[in-house]
């Protein structure tokens, strides 16, 4: 077996060995997750664009100013923003190798996420009860599509978070679990950024005459 010596030539030394750099799967995982988030950005960009085009087509039905309960939506926004802060505390605890605090902060984050989902489902059911379902107008179709897609993402994130809590409780702060914590952190903060856009573009601008 041969290897390249200091002069750049192949060595015929039979005892020579090849040395291969260690592979770091976490780099590939994080890169792949960033690519996924970018694809999700395109999804939401398309939904925002559809709402921008259809958001004033009421078909003789109610407008956002007539339907939106802004204090309720503001409370819901507070729940999601607080969940982002508590997730940050979970990441700090994990870096300090404090498993118990990490799990507690993740559970608090999940509780805020469930509060957000509860109020969103309540809002949707209230609108449908008032006859303002997604089939009522193009405005409501685009509204339910955008806000509902974000809600599905939060649902998926909450399930992922609960699964991660079980993995942490069973295996602790292993290298793999720390990588999963990082990926979920990026996903959760991404949902916060998208919701700020929804709150501003859909709700705040929707109540304007």
Closest CA to 208 of 61, 65, 69: 65
Please give the Cα distance from 155 to 158 (Å, whole number). 5
* Residue-level pLDDT at 31: 87
Backbone angles phi, psi at 48, to 5 degrees: -65, -40
Task: State pTM to two decimals.
Answer: 0.85
* Residue-level pLDDT at 122: 97
What distance separates the 2 farthest-apart alpha carbons in the chain? 86
Domains recognised in the chain with CATH numbers: 25-206 (1.20.120.80)
Backbone angles phi, psi at 4, to 5 degrees: -80, 125
Backbone angles phi, psi at 140, to 5 degrees: -70, -30
* Residue-level pLDDT at 26: 59
Please give the Cα distance from 156 to 209 (Å, whole number). 35
Per-residue pLDDT of the chain (209 residues; tens, 9 = 90+): 444 455 544 445 555 454 445 445 556 778 889 999 999 999 999 999 999 999 999 999 999 999 999 999 999 999 999 999 999 999 999 999 999 999 999 999 999 999 999 999 999 999 999 999 999 999 999 999 999 999 999 999 999 999 999 999 999 999 999 999 999 999 999 999 999 999 999 999 998 86
* Residue-level pLDDT at 7: 53
- DSSP string covering 42-68, please? HHHHHHHHHHHHHTT--TTS--HHHH-
* Residue-level pLDDT at 28: 74
- DSSP string covering 145-191, please? HHHHHHHHHHHHHHHHHHHHHHHHHHH-S-HHHHHHHHHHHHHHHHH
CA 91 vs CA 140, 168, 186: distances in Å = 38, 13, 11
Q: Which residues pair with 4 in a beta bridge?
A: 10
Please give the DSSP secondary-structure letter assigned to residue 111: H
CA 121 vs CA 6, 69, 84, 125, 194: distances in Å = 68, 14, 20, 6, 18
């Amino acid at each position: 077996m041969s290897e390249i010596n200091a002069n750049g030539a192949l060595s015929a030394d039979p005892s020579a060995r090849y040395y291969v750099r260690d592979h770091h799967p976490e780099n590939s995982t994080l890169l792949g997750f960033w690519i996924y988030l970018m694809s999700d950005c395109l999804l939401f960009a398309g939904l925002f664009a559809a709402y921008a085009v259809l958001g004033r087509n009421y078909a003789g039905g109610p407008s956002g100013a007539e339907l939106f309960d802004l204090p309720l939506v503001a409370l819901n926004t507070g729940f999601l923003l607080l969940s982002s802060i508590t997730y940050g505390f979970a990441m700090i605890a994990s870096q300090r190798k404090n498993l118990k605090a990490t799990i507690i902060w993740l559970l608090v984050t999940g509780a805020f996420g469930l509060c957000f989902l509860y109020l969103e489902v309540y809002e949707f059911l209230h609108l449908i009860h008032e006859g303002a379902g997604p089939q009522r107008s193009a405005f409501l179709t685009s509204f339910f599509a955008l806000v509902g897609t974000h809600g599905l993402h939060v649902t998926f994130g909450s399930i992922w978070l609960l699964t991660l809590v079980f993995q942490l409780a069973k295996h602790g702060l292993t290298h793999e679990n720390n990588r999963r914590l990082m990926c979920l952190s990026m996903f959760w903060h991404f949902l916060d950024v998208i919701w700020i856009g929804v709150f501003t573009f859909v709700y705040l601008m929707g109540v304007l005459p």
